[in-house]
A and B are shown apart, each in its own frame.
Chain A
């Protein structure tokens, strides 16, 4: 037993670094003795069965499970099955051996790990002699997946087509042949994956997905475009909802880089697309929104100033602060737009009073033109309004629209 195991290991080493993982079978019985070309002369029993199939399970990020099936000849009684690997980051503690053809009777008796070697030996008992289909599974490093998206918006920016690609990265010197891959949802993919190779596969395509284009003015979140002129940065997003009503919702959309294009609106066959930008798309669960950042608007100008800051003493050291924030909006586009105008209450207090380590009590005052916040998207710290900005006129002049927000900070000291 000892000498056999030793000999098998010797053969494994002799096969060398080109092989990254191999299975060697050292049988106690004197039959089935294929010889390994070039192997040492004292090797008596060895078999190197090929993989019948490989499954790569990529559903848990950071933990890639390889399951490989091989058919090995077993002798009646105890068999030593040696599994060794080189140049591959296999987690030794995760390696499992299962017999698929006779799981009731073919069983692992023990597992031994030789010192300082990337190998292990299963002692497997079999009630009969003959071939057995076994599955060996392990967690491997260097094999992972990533997602990419291509979003192509219609010229009117009301809908888009979304392509989702999964990229399988094999950064190991191991070739997996025709591997059956599962990314965690959707269809299983059967593709060959070679050593140190990346393969990009179209995983899903969604057509005519409704989108909303948003323009957001929010000093606390996005800051100024031109602080000296008090002009706010206005980021733009395409917002789509990952639900069935919007042609999605089959599964969560995984995080990945999204490249966004738009059709140029020319006639079929003559038109092309233009690149709008790219964004890291965040994970979007079912029914959640996916926001794709498009860059900062240059044709929408929002100038924000504090028009009024009146302190009104109430009782003892307590005061109320009556604040009016003024927004002057100019739309230099030739289409009207809707702007999400947001104000952070904590940011506003810090701006006009400085920071204070206490919760903020506030109410909407009566004087502002902005009176009805979006109830779903407003919180105790952030109010959000939707404001329409008309297109510039035929004379190319942008109409300046002024909105005011009256906030009363109460019981400050």
Chain B
């Protein structure tokens, strides 16, 4: 069991500076009045911002801040003075002493005697959040309910009582991991001892304060939110900020070390689902996969925020009312307005075969000895037994065969690259995704089989002059 400890702030006026290193820590311990956690999901990173009131003397003061047994990054600790009635305060410098690796001292100049509000911010690791989703489709898979959840886990070694919780969606760039920075400076979690338990009790008693001076949290959820008089789930306010989205949980919450809390992020009540089958070996491997396509927009009863990456658990509602599992799949970040997909893998009710039905060659060119001239029987040239074949065209007649054993028509999309100097001959109305990748689609009726036939003409040897696919309509 790890011992949960919080960061400790000690105010020492200038005259008491010589007392550092003595039993000064618990003599002037200003309580934490408010705390805000901003938790990132792309990195093991949480920005903690807390407010405390300290008493300062006019002149030079030293404030000690220590964080034993937590995963706080010492290089990130900063102090600000959001406002004091008596006058102004300035940080002269910050000292990281050798003999106390998990502590620092701020050298603060005050032009007044009295109380001052301080805001301390720092990074810690060990507090994380992640998203997960639960989708339940109608039995015809035309729509689904789609709910998002966030789970906040605290393994930082510190308890945060009555904390305002914010979660950031988006990727932040870190050049050094917070956990490494914390461990580099001697932090880390220790086993609980008797003293630790006493300290924990003291910390909890000190930190649990009724009022807060932090920026006001979003309005709390309506009280008595349920028909039965129970409070409803906390509202999560979603706001965009630069490239990020911030989810703020209304009210304040205890984020206790070792605990996890799961909250509902949104509720998609009737989300249209488009089912499509794709053969795209570059994206999905050499198989025909079934995809659910969904849009993250208001028309789909979503679109309040980007969807953080996470895991989706998809079920189908049975006509009997029960559920059956469709797939558990990882999901990527989805911006507002973007269509996203769930890759459900192969569908045993849709069989896909790639067949070559005929191969042949033509348009031969020959070389004779050391001559530069080439000879073509197609053009009427005579060729000899000793002539060498230097150019020809390979023809392959192919069929993409799809058998649909489902009870409804399916849409199928195919896209695959073909190397070489190629002509793609078909009646499939293809387009080119890029210079060597035909792209075409079709619909296969319920219980039907469909053969998508085409011919690939590959020019070889001296016949090859390009490295690209050209489309040609079949005659």
A binds B: yes
A residues within 8 Å of B by Cβ?
148, 150, 153, 155, 157, 191, 194-202, 228-230, 236, 257, 259, 262, 264-266, 269-272, 274-280, 293-299, 301, 305-311, 313, 326, 330, 332-334, 352, 392, 395-398
Q: Are A306 and B172 in contact (CB under 8 A)?
A: no
- In the bound complex, how far is the Cα of B166 from the Cα of A310, in angstroms? 54
Q: Are B435 and A228 in contact (CB under 8 A)?
A: no
- B218-250: which residues lie under 8 A (CB-CB) from chain A? 239-244, 246
- In the bound complex, how far is the Cα of B466 from the Cα of A313, in angstroms? 10
Known: A197-B97, A269-B83, A306-B435. A157 touches B242 (CB 8 A): yes
In the complex, which residues of chain A have a beta carbon less than 8 angstroms from the beta carbon of B280?
228
- B contact patch SS: mixed
Task: State whether the Cβ of B414 lies closer than 8 Å to any Cβ in chain A.
Answer: no
* Residue from A266, A274, A280, A398 with most neighbouring chain B CB atoms (10 Å): A274
Task: State whether the Cβ of B297 lies closer than 8 Å to any Cβ in chain A.
Answer: yes
In the complex, which residues of chain A have a beta carbon less than 8 angstroms from the beta carbon of B327?
none
Known: A310-B466, A332-B337, A398-B337. A236 touches B94 (CB 8 A): no
Residue of A nearest to B242 (CB): A262
In the complex, which residues of chain A have a beta carbon less than 8 angstroms from the beta carbon of B174?
277-278
Q: Are B215 and A199 in contact (CB under 8 A)?
A: no
In the complex, which residues of chain B have a beta carbon less than 8 angstroms from the beta carbon of A150?
78
10 residue pairs of the A-B complex, CB under 8 angstroms, read: A236-B243, A272-B215, A274-B244, A275-B38, A276-B243, A294-B243, A308-B435, A310-B466, A311-B467, A332-B337
In the complex, which residues of chain A have a beta carbon less than 8 angstroms from the beta carbon of B303?
396
Q: Are B246 and A200 in contact (CB under 8 A)?
A: no
Task: State whether the Cβ of B8 lies closer than 8 Å to any Cβ in chain A.
Answer: no
Task: Tell which of A157, A191, A195, A299 touches B335, judged by Cβ atoms closer than 8 Å.
Answer: A299
Task: State whether the Cβ of B471 lies closer than 8 Å to any Cβ in chain A.
Answer: no
New contact pairs (8) apart from A199-B94, A262-B242, A396-B297, CB-CB < 8 Å = A265-B241, A276-B242, A277-B174, A278-B172, A306-B434, A330-B338, A392-B336, A397-B297
Q: Are A277 and B172 in contact (CB under 8 A)?
A: yes
Task: State whether the Cβ of B287 lies closer than 8 Å to any Cβ in chain A.
Answer: no
- B131-173: which residues lie under 8 A (CB-CB) from chain A? 166, 168, 170-173
Contact with A along B279-311 (1 / 0, CB 8 A): 010110000000000000111000100100000
A53 to chain B, nearest CB (A): 19
Task: State whether the Cβ of B95 lies closer than 8 Å to any Cβ in chain A.
Answer: yes
Query: What 4 pairs between A and B have smallest CB-CB spacing?
Result: A196-B98, A332-B335, A305-B434, A396-B337
Task: State whether the Cβ of B216 lies closer than 8 Å to any Cβ in chain A.
Answer: yes
Q: Are A276 and B336 in contact (CB under 8 A)?
A: no
In the complex, which residues of chain B have a beta carbon less than 8 angstroms from the beta carbon of A201?
92-94
B residues within 8 Å of A by Cβ?
36, 38, 40, 45, 47, 49, 75-76, 78, 82-83, 91-98, 123, 166, 168, 170-176, 214-216, 239-244, 246, 280, 282-283, 297-299, 303, 306, 333, 335-338, 432-436, 465-468
In the complex, which residues of chain B have a beta carbon less than 8 angstroms from the beta carbon of A296?
171
Q: Are A198 and B95 in contact (CB under 8 A)?
A: yes
Task: Tell which of B75, B82, B98, B468 touches A195, judged by Cβ atoms closer than 8 Å.
Answer: B98
Known: A270-B216, A298-B171, A298-B335. A276 touches B93 (CB 8 A): no
Q: Are A200 and B434 in contact (CB under 8 A)?
A: no
Known: A262-B242, A278-B175. A309 touches B98 (CB 8 A): no
Known: A299-B306, A311-B465. A266 touches B215 (CB 8 A): yes
Q: Are B468 and A277 in contact (CB under 8 A)?
A: no
- In the bound complex, how far is the Cα of B436 from the Cα of A295, in angstroms? 33
In the complex, which residues of chain B have a beta carbon less than 8 angstroms from the beta carbon of A272?
36, 49, 214-215
- In the bound complex, how far is the Cα of B96 from the Cα of A201, in angstroms? 12
- In the bound complex, how far is the Cα of B299 from the Cα of A396, in angstroms? 9
B465 to chain A, nearest CB (A): 6
- In the bound complex, how far is the Cα of B283 from the Cα of A229, in angstroms? 7
Residue of B nearest to A335 (CB): B240
- In the bound complex, how far is the Cα of B218 from the Cα of A266, in angstroms? 12
- In the bound complex, how far is the Cα of B47 from the Cα of A395, in angstroms? 34
In the complex, which residues of chain B have a beta carbon less than 8 angstroms from the beta carbon of A265?
241
Residue of A nearest to B174 (CB): A278
- In the bound complex, how far is the Cα of B433 from the Cα of A108, in angstroms? 83
In the complex, which residues of chain B have a beta carbon less than 8 angstroms from the beta carbon of A305?
433-435
- In the bound complex, how far is the Cα of B466 from the Cα of A306, in angstroms? 14
Residue of B nearest to A157 (CB): B242
- In the bound complex, how far is the Cα of B460 from the Cα of A357, in angstroms? 26
Residue of A nearest to B466 (CB): A311
Known: A275-B47, A298-B170. A199 touches B95 (CB 8 A): yes
- In the bound complex, how far is the Cα of B82 from the Cα of A275, in angstroms? 18
Q: Are B173 and A277 in contact (CB under 8 A)?
A: yes
In the complex, which residues of chain B have a beta carbon less than 8 angstroms from the beta carbon of A330?
338
In the complex, which residues of chain B have a beta carbon less than 8 angstroms from the beta carbon of A307?
432, 434-435
Task: Tell which of A259, A264, A274, A352 touches B76, judged by Cβ atoms closer than 8 Å.
Answer: A259
In the complex, which residues of chain B have a beta carbon less than 8 angstroms from the beta carbon of A397?
297, 337
Q: Are B282 and A228 in contact (CB under 8 A)?
A: yes
- In the bound complex, how far is the Cα of B45 from the Cα of A295, in angstroms? 15
- In the bound complex, how far is the Cα of B184 from the Cα of A312, in angstroms? 61
Task: Tell which of A280, A295, A298, A309 touches B467, judged by Cβ atoms closer than 8 Å.
Answer: A309
Q: Are B96 and A396 in contact (CB under 8 A)?
A: no
Residue of B nearest to A266 (CB): B215
In the complex, which residues of chain A have a beta carbon less than 8 angstroms from the beta carbon of B36?
272
In the complex, which residues of chain B have a beta carbon less than 8 angstroms from the beta carbon of A262?
241-242
- In the bound complex, how far is the Cα of B298 from the Cα of A293, in angstroms? 33
- In the bound complex, how far is the Cα of B303 from the Cα of A296, in angstroms? 21
Residue of B nearest to A392 (CB): B337
- In the bound complex, how far is the Cα of B306 from the Cα of A299, in angstroms? 9
